Structure 1
Protein backbone atom coordinates (compact mmCIF):
# COMPACT_ATOMS: atom_id res chain seq x y z
CA UNK A 1 0.00 0.00 0.00
CA UNK A 2 2.90 2.34 0.68
CA UNK A 3 4.10 1.74 -2.88
CA UNK A 4 0.67 2.71 -4.20
CA UNK A 5 0.73 5.88 -2.12
CA UNK A 6 4.26 6.68 -3.37
CA UNK A 7 3.18 6.10 -6.98
CA UNK A 8 0.06 8.19 -6.49
CA UNK A 9 -2.28 5.59 -7.93
CA UNK A 10 -3.76 2.18 -7.26
CA UNK A 11 -5.97 0.67 -4.59
CA UNK A 12 -5.33 -1.98 -1.94
CA UNK A 13 -8.34 -3.91 -0.68
CA UNK A 14 -7.57 -5.27 2.79
CA UNK A 15 -10.00 -8.04 3.70
CA UNK A 16 -9.97 -8.92 7.40
CA UNK A 17 -13.07 -9.61 9.49
CA UNK A 18 -11.06 -8.90 12.65
CA UNK A 19 -11.54 -12.32 14.22
CA UNK A 20 -7.88 -12.50 15.26
CA UNK A 21 -6.61 -8.90 15.44
CA UNK A 22 -9.03 -6.64 17.30
CA UNK A 23 -7.13 -3.43 16.48
CA UNK A 24 -8.91 -3.40 13.12
CA UNK A 25 -12.20 -2.83 14.99
CA UNK A 26 -11.25 0.72 15.95
CA UNK A 27 -11.95 3.52 13.44
CA UNK A 28 -9.43 5.63 15.40
CA UNK A 29 -6.69 3.02 14.84
CA UNK A 30 -7.45 2.90 11.13
CA UNK A 31 -7.49 6.71 10.86
CA UNK A 32 -4.14 6.85 12.69
CA UNK A 33 -2.66 4.35 10.24
CA UNK A 34 -3.94 6.35 7.27
CA UNK A 35 -2.51 9.61 8.66
CA UNK A 36 0.83 8.15 9.74
CA UNK A 37 1.59 6.47 6.43
CA UNK A 38 -0.37 8.67 4.01
CA UNK A 39 -2.60 5.82 2.87
CA UNK A 40 -5.90 7.66 2.52
CA UNK A 41 -7.38 7.00 -0.90
CA UNK A 42 -5.05 4.06 -1.59
CA UNK A 43 -6.54 1.36 0.59
CA UNK A 44 -9.92 0.17 1.70
CA UNK A 45 -10.39 -1.97 4.80
CA UNK A 46 -13.21 -4.47 4.34
CA UNK A 47 -14.09 -5.90 7.75
CA UNK A 48 -15.74 -8.93 6.24
CA UNK A 49 -14.98 -12.51 5.32
CA UNK A 50 -13.76 -13.39 1.84
CA UNK A 51 -17.12 -15.02 1.17
CA UNK A 52 -18.97 -11.80 2.04
CA UNK A 53 -16.66 -9.70 -0.14
CA UNK A 54 -17.13 -12.02 -3.13
CA UNK A 55 -20.93 -12.10 -2.66
CA UNK A 56 -21.03 -8.28 -2.60
CA UNK A 57 -18.60 -7.84 -5.51
CA UNK A 58 -16.64 -5.39 -3.35
CA UNK A 59 -13.33 -5.81 -5.22
CA UNK A 60 -13.96 -4.59 -8.77
CA UNK A 61 -11.82 -5.11 -11.85
CA UNK A 62 -8.50 -6.83 -12.36
CA UNK A 63 -5.95 -7.41 -9.60
CA UNK A 64 -2.21 -6.98 -10.18
CA UNK A 65 -1.07 -8.58 -6.91
CA UNK A 66 -3.08 -10.76 -4.55
CA UNK A 67 -1.76 -11.61 -1.06
CA UNK A 68 -3.50 -14.55 0.64
CA UNK A 69 -3.05 -14.91 4.40
CA UNK A 70 -6.52 -15.67 5.72
CA UNK A 71 -8.23 -18.96 6.45
CA UNK A 72 -5.35 -21.46 6.24
CA UNK A 73 -7.59 -24.52 5.80
CA UNK A 74 -7.49 -26.21 2.40
CA UNK A 75 -11.04 -25.09 1.65
CA UNK A 76 -10.32 -21.52 2.79
CA UNK A 77 -7.15 -21.17 0.70
CA UNK A 78 -8.88 -22.75 -2.30
CA UNK A 79 -11.80 -20.32 -2.01
CA UNK A 80 -9.51 -17.27 -1.88
CA UNK A 81 -7.22 -18.56 -4.63
CA UNK A 82 -10.04 -19.58 -6.99
CA UNK A 83 -12.36 -16.62 -6.45
CA UNK A 84 -9.90 -13.73 -6.10
CA UNK A 85 -7.32 -15.45 -8.31
CA UNK A 86 -9.82 -15.35 -11.18
CA UNK A 87 -9.51 -11.54 -11.00
CA UNK A 88 -5.70 -11.57 -11.19
CA UNK A 89 -4.60 -10.33 -14.59
CA UNK A 90 -2.35 -12.49 -16.80
CA UNK A 91 1.21 -11.85 -15.63
CA UNK A 92 -0.08 -10.87 -12.19
CA UNK A 93 1.16 -12.39 -8.96
CA UNK A 94 -0.59 -14.30 -6.18
CA UNK A 95 1.39 -14.52 -2.94
CA UNK A 96 0.52 -17.10 -0.29
CA UNK A 97 1.84 -16.77 3.25
CA UNK A 98 2.55 -19.71 5.58
CA UNK A 99 3.17 -21.94 2.57
CA UNK A 100 5.74 -24.34 4.03
CA UNK A 101 4.35 -25.01 7.50
CA UNK A 102 1.96 -27.84 8.15
CA UNK A 103 0.08 -27.96 11.39
CA UNK A 104 -2.56 -26.04 13.21
CA UNK A 105 -3.01 -22.39 14.11
CA UNK A 106 -6.43 -20.76 14.34
CA UNK A 107 -7.42 -23.19 11.58
CA UNK A 108 -5.46 -26.14 10.19
CA UNK A 109 -2.48 -24.91 8.14
CA UNK A 110 -3.08 -26.54 4.77
CA UNK A 111 -1.65 -23.92 2.41
CA UNK A 112 1.20 -26.24 1.40
CA UNK A 113 -1.18 -29.11 0.67
CA UNK A 114 -3.32 -26.83 -1.50
CA UNK A 115 -0.32 -25.58 -3.47
CA UNK A 116 1.06 -29.11 -3.95
CA UNK A 117 -2.27 -30.53 -5.12
CA UNK A 118 -3.70 -27.69 -7.19
CA UNK A 119 -1.06 -25.18 -8.27
CA UNK A 120 2.40 -26.71 -8.57
CA UNK A 121 2.61 -28.56 -11.87
CA UNK A 122 -0.27 -26.59 -13.39
CA UNK A 123 1.05 -24.97 -16.58
CA UNK A 124 -1.09 -21.88 -15.99
CA UNK A 125 1.22 -20.88 -13.12
CA UNK A 126 4.88 -20.41 -12.29
CA UNK A 127 5.74 -20.82 -8.61
CA UNK A 128 8.65 -19.86 -6.40
CA UNK A 129 8.78 -20.53 -2.67
CA UNK A 130 10.89 -18.70 -0.13
CA UNK A 131 11.32 -21.43 2.50
CA UNK A 132 12.06 -19.12 5.44
CA UNK A 133 10.06 -19.00 8.67
CA UNK A 134 6.56 -20.18 7.70
CA UNK A 135 7.20 -19.78 3.97
CA UNK A 136 6.07 -17.39 1.28
CA UNK A 137 5.11 -18.65 -2.17
CA UNK A 138 4.87 -16.42 -5.23
CA UNK A 139 2.60 -17.66 -7.99
CA UNK A 140 2.77 -15.91 -11.35
CA UNK A 141 -0.32 -16.27 -13.47
CA UNK A 142 0.96 -17.02 -16.98
CA UNK A 143 -0.46 -15.19 -19.99
Structure 2
Protein backbone atom coordinates (compact mmCIF):
# COMPACT_ATOMS: atom_id res chain seq x y z
CA UNK A 1 0.00 0.00 0.00
CA UNK A 2 2.79 2.42 0.99
CA UNK A 3 4.72 1.69 -2.21
CA UNK A 4 1.61 2.25 -4.33
CA UNK A 5 0.95 5.63 -2.67
CA UNK A 6 4.55 6.73 -3.18
CA UNK A 7 4.37 5.65 -6.84
CA UNK A 8 1.18 7.67 -7.39
CA UNK A 9 2.73 10.75 -5.76
CA UNK A 10 5.78 10.39 -8.01
CA UNK A 11 3.62 10.04 -11.12
CA UNK A 12 1.60 13.10 -10.13
CA UNK A 13 4.67 15.25 -9.57
CA UNK A 14 6.21 14.10 -12.85
CA UNK A 15 3.02 15.14 -14.67
CA UNK A 16 2.80 18.57 -13.02
CA UNK A 17 6.46 19.61 -13.03
CA UNK A 18 8.00 21.04 -16.20
CA UNK A 19 10.67 18.98 -17.97
CA UNK A 20 13.43 21.38 -16.93
CA UNK A 21 12.65 20.75 -13.25
CA UNK A 22 12.46 16.97 -13.76
CA UNK A 23 15.82 17.12 -15.54
CA UNK A 24 17.33 19.01 -12.61
CA UNK A 25 15.97 16.39 -10.19
CA UNK A 26 17.42 13.58 -12.31
CA UNK A 27 20.83 15.26 -12.37
CA UNK A 28 20.82 15.72 -8.61
CA UNK A 29 19.80 12.09 -8.11
CA UNK A 30 22.62 10.98 -10.42
CA UNK A 31 25.05 12.92 -8.22
CA UNK A 32 23.66 11.78 -4.87
CA UNK A 33 22.67 8.18 -5.52
CA UNK A 34 23.15 6.90 -9.09
CA UNK A 35 22.13 3.40 -8.01
CA UNK A 36 18.54 4.57 -7.42
CA UNK A 37 18.50 6.14 -10.88
CA UNK A 38 19.69 2.90 -12.48
CA UNK A 39 17.10 0.90 -10.52
CA UNK A 40 14.39 3.21 -11.84
CA UNK A 41 15.65 2.96 -15.42
CA UNK A 42 16.14 -0.80 -15.49
CA UNK A 43 12.48 -1.92 -15.60
CA UNK A 44 11.71 0.70 -18.28
CA UNK A 45 14.41 -0.82 -20.47
CA UNK A 46 13.24 -4.40 -19.84
CA UNK A 47 16.50 -5.10 -18.07
CA UNK A 48 15.48 -6.82 -14.86
CA UNK A 49 17.64 -9.94 -15.02
CA UNK A 50 17.33 -12.72 -12.49
CA UNK A 51 18.69 -16.22 -12.02
CA UNK A 52 15.86 -17.54 -14.20
CA UNK A 53 17.18 -15.55 -17.17
CA UNK A 54 20.91 -15.87 -16.42
CA UNK A 55 22.69 -17.26 -19.50
CA UNK A 56 25.13 -20.15 -19.40
CA UNK A 57 27.30 -19.59 -22.48
CA UNK A 58 29.15 -22.87 -22.00
CA UNK A 59 27.26 -25.98 -20.93
CA UNK A 60 27.94 -26.06 -17.17
CA UNK A 61 28.65 -29.15 -15.11
CA UNK A 62 28.88 -29.57 -11.37
CA UNK A 63 30.83 -28.31 -9.56
CA UNK A 64 30.31 -24.86 -11.05
CA UNK A 65 33.46 -22.94 -11.98
CA UNK A 66 33.81 -19.16 -11.90
CA UNK A 67 33.50 -18.89 -15.69
CA UNK A 68 30.08 -20.54 -15.40
CA UNK A 69 28.91 -17.54 -13.38
CA UNK A 70 29.66 -14.91 -16.05
CA UNK A 71 25.92 -14.50 -16.69
CA UNK A 72 25.55 -12.96 -13.23
CA UNK A 73 27.20 -9.76 -14.40
CA UNK A 74 25.83 -6.76 -16.27
CA UNK A 75 26.52 -6.42 -19.97
CA UNK A 76 25.70 -2.70 -20.07
CA UNK A 77 26.29 0.28 -17.79
CA UNK A 78 22.53 0.65 -17.28
CA UNK A 79 22.09 -2.65 -15.51
CA UNK A 80 23.79 -4.39 -12.60
CA UNK A 81 22.81 -7.82 -13.82
CA UNK A 82 21.92 -10.41 -11.23
CA UNK A 83 24.81 -9.36 -9.00
CA UNK A 84 25.75 -5.79 -8.05
CA UNK A 85 29.38 -6.57 -7.24
CA UNK A 86 32.14 -6.06 -9.80
CA UNK A 87 33.86 -8.98 -11.51
CA UNK A 88 36.96 -8.42 -9.34
CA UNK A 89 34.96 -8.45 -6.12
CA UNK A 90 33.04 -11.56 -7.12
CA UNK A 91 36.19 -13.37 -8.26
CA UNK A 92 37.84 -12.52 -4.93
CA UNK A 93 34.84 -13.79 -2.96
CA UNK A 94 34.65 -16.99 -5.02
CA UNK A 95 38.40 -17.60 -4.81
CA UNK A 96 38.60 -16.90 -1.08
CA UNK A 97 35.78 -19.31 -0.30
CA UNK A 98 37.28 -21.99 -2.54
CA UNK A 99 40.71 -21.62 -0.90
CA UNK A 100 39.41 -21.48 2.67
CA UNK A 101 37.16 -24.53 2.21
CA UNK A 102 34.88 -23.24 4.99
CA UNK A 103 32.63 -25.60 6.89
CA UNK A 104 30.25 -22.84 8.00
CA UNK A 105 29.35 -19.60 6.20
CA UNK A 106 26.79 -16.87 6.92
CA UNK A 107 25.55 -14.29 4.42
CA UNK A 108 23.59 -11.16 5.39
CA UNK A 109 21.66 -9.71 2.45
CA UNK A 110 21.15 -11.72 -0.76
CA UNK A 111 18.56 -9.79 -2.89
CA UNK A 112 18.53 -11.61 -6.26
CA UNK A 113 20.98 -14.26 -5.06
CA UNK A 114 24.08 -13.39 -7.07
CA UNK A 115 26.45 -13.51 -4.10
CA UNK A 116 24.52 -16.45 -2.66
CA UNK A 117 25.08 -18.59 -5.75
CA UNK A 118 28.72 -17.42 -5.93
CA UNK A 119 29.42 -18.58 -2.37
CA UNK A 120 27.44 -21.80 -2.75
CA UNK A 121 29.25 -22.64 -6.01
CA UNK A 122 32.64 -22.03 -4.39
CA UNK A 123 31.65 -24.32 -1.51
CA UNK A 124 30.76 -27.00 -4.10
CA UNK A 125 28.05 -28.61 -2.00
CA UNK A 126 30.23 -28.94 1.09
CA UNK A 127 29.65 -27.47 4.54
CA UNK A 128 26.75 -25.42 5.90
CA UNK A 129 25.69 -22.09 4.44
CA UNK A 130 23.03 -19.79 5.91
CA UNK A 131 21.77 -16.79 3.92
CA UNK A 132 19.65 -14.18 5.72
CA UNK A 133 17.56 -11.56 3.91
CA UNK A 134 14.63 -9.44 5.01
CA UNK A 135 12.95 -9.73 1.60
CA UNK A 136 11.90 -6.08 1.70
CA UNK A 137 13.97 -4.89 -1.26
CA UNK A 138 12.38 -7.37 -3.66
CA UNK A 139 8.89 -6.26 -2.66
CA UNK A 140 9.85 -2.59 -3.03
CA UNK A 141 11.67 -2.75 -6.36
CA UNK A 142 9.85 -5.55 -8.14
CA UNK A 143 6.13 -5.20 -7.67
CA UNK A 144 5.70 -7.86 -10.29
CA UNK A 145 2.87 -10.33 -10.53
CA UNK A 146 5.34 -13.18 -10.92
CA UNK A 147 4.54 -16.45 -9.21
CA UNK A 148 8.24 -17.08 -8.59
CA UNK A 149 10.32 -15.14 -6.09
CA UNK A 150 14.07 -14.63 -6.28
CA UNK A 151 14.38 -17.24 -3.52
CA UNK A 152 12.52 -19.74 -5.74
CA UNK A 153 15.12 -19.10 -8.43
CA UNK A 154 18.00 -19.50 -5.97
CA UNK A 155 16.63 -22.83 -4.75
CA UNK A 156 16.19 -24.08 -8.31
CA UNK A 157 19.72 -23.30 -9.45
CA UNK A 158 21.21 -24.70 -6.24
CA UNK A 159 19.20 -27.91 -6.60
CA UNK A 160 20.21 -28.15 -10.24
CA UNK A 161 23.92 -28.11 -9.42
CA UNK A 162 23.90 -29.79 -6.01
CA UNK A 163 24.69 -26.62 -4.06
CA UNK A 164 23.76 -26.28 -0.39
CA UNK A 165 22.24 -23.18 1.18
CA UNK A 166 19.61 -22.51 3.83
CA UNK A 167 17.59 -19.43 2.82
CA UNK A 168 16.28 -17.57 5.85
CA UNK A 169 13.82 -14.68 5.57
CA UNK A 170 13.74 -12.22 8.45
CA UNK A 171 15.23 -9.12 10.00
CA UNK A 172 18.90 -9.69 10.84
CA UNK A 173 18.39 -7.63 13.99
CA UNK A 174 16.03 -10.22 15.43
CA UNK A 175 16.25 -13.50 13.52
CA UNK A 176 17.49 -16.47 15.55
CA UNK A 177 19.79 -19.01 13.92
CA UNK A 178 22.10 -21.41 15.72
CA UNK A 179 25.37 -21.70 13.84
CA UNK A 180 28.05 -21.95 16.49
CA UNK A 181 31.49 -20.72 15.44
CA UNK A 182 31.78 -20.07 11.69
CA UNK A 183 34.57 -19.68 9.15
CA UNK A 184 33.32 -16.81 6.99
CA UNK A 185 30.65 -14.11 7.14
CA UNK A 186 29.66 -11.94 4.16
CA UNK A 187 27.80 -8.75 5.15
CA UNK A 188 25.83 -6.77 2.55
CA UNK A 189 22.59 -5.89 4.32
CA UNK A 190 21.40 -2.71 6.03
CA UNK A 191 24.02 -0.03 5.26
CA UNK A 192 23.04 2.32 8.09
CA UNK A 193 25.65 2.49 10.85
CA UNK A 194 23.31 0.88 13.38
CA UNK A 195 22.28 -1.79 10.88
CA UNK A 196 25.74 -2.86 9.78
CA UNK A 197 27.05 -2.73 13.35
CA UNK A 198 24.21 -5.02 14.43
CA UNK A 199 25.04 -7.46 11.63
CA UNK A 200 28.70 -7.52 12.65
CA UNK A 201 28.01 -7.86 16.38
CA UNK A 202 25.38 -10.59 15.90
CA UNK A 203 27.07 -12.57 13.15
CA UNK A 204 30.54 -11.26 12.32
CA UNK A 205 31.76 -11.95 15.83
CA UNK A 206 30.89 -15.64 15.38
CA UNK A 207 33.92 -16.00 13.11
CA UNK A 208 36.73 -18.17 14.47
CA UNK A 209 40.30 -16.92 14.86
CA UNK A 210 41.76 -17.04 11.35
CA UNK A 211 38.30 -16.74 9.82
CA UNK A 212 37.09 -13.99 7.50
CA UNK A 213 34.46 -11.26 7.55
CA UNK A 214 33.74 -9.47 4.27
CA UNK A 215 31.87 -6.18 3.98
CA UNK A 216 30.53 -4.92 0.66
CA UNK A 217 30.45 -1.15 0.05
CA UNK A 218 33.13 -0.54 2.69
CA UNK A 219 35.80 0.98 0.43
CA UNK A 220 36.09 3.40 -2.47
CA UNK A 221 36.91 2.24 -5.97
CA UNK A 222 40.01 3.77 -7.57
CA UNK A 223 38.25 6.53 -9.51
CA UNK A 224 35.01 7.08 -7.62
CA UNK A 225 33.64 7.72 -4.14
CA UNK A 226 31.51 4.59 -4.00
CA UNK A 227 31.62 3.32 -0.43
CA UNK A 228 28.98 3.70 2.26
CA UNK A 229 30.36 6.05 4.90
CA UNK A 230 28.62 4.17 7.70
CA UNK A 231 30.09 0.83 6.59
CA UNK A 232 33.52 2.41 6.19
CA UNK A 233 33.28 3.97 9.64
CA UNK A 234 32.44 0.64 11.27
CA UNK A 235 35.27 -1.08 9.40
CA UNK A 236 37.76 1.47 10.76
CA UNK A 237 36.45 0.97 14.30
CA UNK A 238 36.63 -2.83 14.07
CA UNK A 239 40.25 -2.80 12.91
CA UNK A 240 41.21 -0.20 15.53
CA UNK A 241 39.75 -2.41 18.29
CA UNK A 242 42.48 -4.96 17.57
CA UNK A 243 40.67 -8.28 17.20
CA UNK A 244 40.58 -8.07 13.40
CA UNK A 245 43.08 -6.94 10.79
CA UNK A 246 42.38 -5.63 7.31
CA UNK A 247 43.64 -8.22 4.83
CA UNK A 248 42.67 -6.55 1.56
CA UNK A 249 40.21 -4.25 -0.16
CA UNK A 250 38.99 -5.14 -3.64
CA UNK A 251 36.97 -2.35 -5.25
CA UNK A 252 34.20 -1.78 -2.66
CA UNK A 253 34.79 -5.08 -0.85
CA UNK A 254 36.76 -5.24 2.43
CA UNK A 255 38.19 -8.49 3.83
CA UNK A 256 39.14 -8.61 7.50
CA UNK A 257 40.59 -11.56 9.40
CA UNK A 258 40.02 -12.40 13.05
CA UNK A 259 43.39 -12.48 14.82
CA UNK A 260 42.31 -12.98 18.43
Task: Please report the TM-score for the alignment, with normalisation by the length of structure 2.
Answer: 0.45
Report if aligned partners of 1:67, 1:96 keep a CA contact under 8 Å in 2.
yes
1:123 to 242, 253, 257: 242
Which runs of structure 2 are paired with 1:18-33 in the superposition (5 Å)? 18-22=135-139, 25=149, 28-33=152-157
**Residue by residue, what CA displacement relative to the aligned partner does 1:72-101 show, whole Å, maximum 9, x if unpaired?**
011011101111122111111000000025
d(CA) in 2 for partners of 1:139, 1:75: 19
Match for residue 255 of structure 2?
138
Which segment drifts farther, 63-72 or 92-101? 92-101
Match of 2:161 among 37, 42, 63: 37
Note if 1:15 corresponds to 2:15: no
Larger C-alpha radius of gyration, 1 or 2? 2
Q: Tell me the SS of whatever aligns to 2:137.
A: coil
Aligned Cα root-mean-square deviation (Å): 2.5
Q: TM-score, length-normalised on structure 1?
A: 0.77
Q: 2:195 aligns with which of 73, 76, 84?
A: 76
Residues 110-143 of structure 1: per-residue CA shift (max 9 Å, x gap):
1011112x213222111134252xx111110013
SS at match of 1:115: helix
Structure 1 unaligned spans of 5+: none
Kindly indicate which of the two structures has a greater share of residues assigned to strand. 1
How far residue 3 of structure 1 moved from its aligned partner, in angstroms, is 2.5
Please give the secondary structure, in 2, of the residue aligned with 1:120: helix
Q: Distance in 1 between matches of 2:151 and 2:226?
A: 34
Distance 1:26 1:96 in 2: 22
**More helix by proportion, 1 or 2?**
2
Is 1:89 aligned to 2:208, yes or no? yes
How far apart are residue 103 of structure 1 and its match?
A: 7.8
Structure 1 equivalent of residue 43 of structure 2: none
Deviation at 1:10, TM superposition (A): 0.6
Could you tell me which residue of structure 2 aligns to residue 112 of structure 1? Answer: 232
Provide the secondary structure at the position in 1 that maps to 2:203: helix
1:27 deviation in Å?
Answer: 5.7
**Unmatched runs of 5 consecutive residues or more in structure 2:** 1-119, 143-147
